[in-house]
Amino acid sequence: MISWQREDGTIFAPIPAGNWNTELPGQMLASKGCFSFWNYYMNTGDKETISKVYNGVKKYLNVWKLKSDGTLVHREGGWYWGDWGKKIDKQLLFNAWYYLALKGYYNMSEMLGKDVEAQQTKKDMESFK
């Protein structure tokens, strides 16, 4: 996934058609949380891969900005991916995925011995929560 990262930090999703080159912000945000790269590490112990994707995750998290009320600024991307059905609260989902992405990044920072980043991310998580 990190190999699909653009200069501006966004990550495009080559799925569903294989020729897709547009960002799906919700999908990419959900895929950066503690259930993706961190889950991979927990099941493999592969620290090398985590160190390779670490800076890309950090760059991607910096794409997301907060409003004055502390919630995420809406980002439409190429497709405002979420869930199907009626009355889906995509903004709530995006905020939850953002918190989980911070948690995954925090875990990676701590494991890699990046204490400054880990402590700042912990503060960001507490503030965001």
Structure confidence at residue 105 (pLDDT): 96
Of 126, 3, 125, 127, the closest CA to residue 55 belongs to 3
* Mean pLDDT, rounded, of the chain: 89
Domain boundaries, the chain: 26-64+83-129
Between 60-64, 78-82, 92-96, 97-101, the lowest mean confidence (pLDDT) is in 78-82
Structure confidence at residue 3 (pLDDT): 86
46 — phi, psi (to 5°)? Answer: -80, 85
> Alpha-carbon distance 123 to 125, whole Å?
5
- Name every residue whose Cβ is closer than 8 Å to that of residue 34 and which is 6 or more positions away in sequence: 100, 101, 103, 104, 107
Confidence at 87, pLDDT banded by 50, 70, 90: confident
Structure confidence at residue 18 (pLDDT): 62
Residue indicated by tokens 């569903």: 16
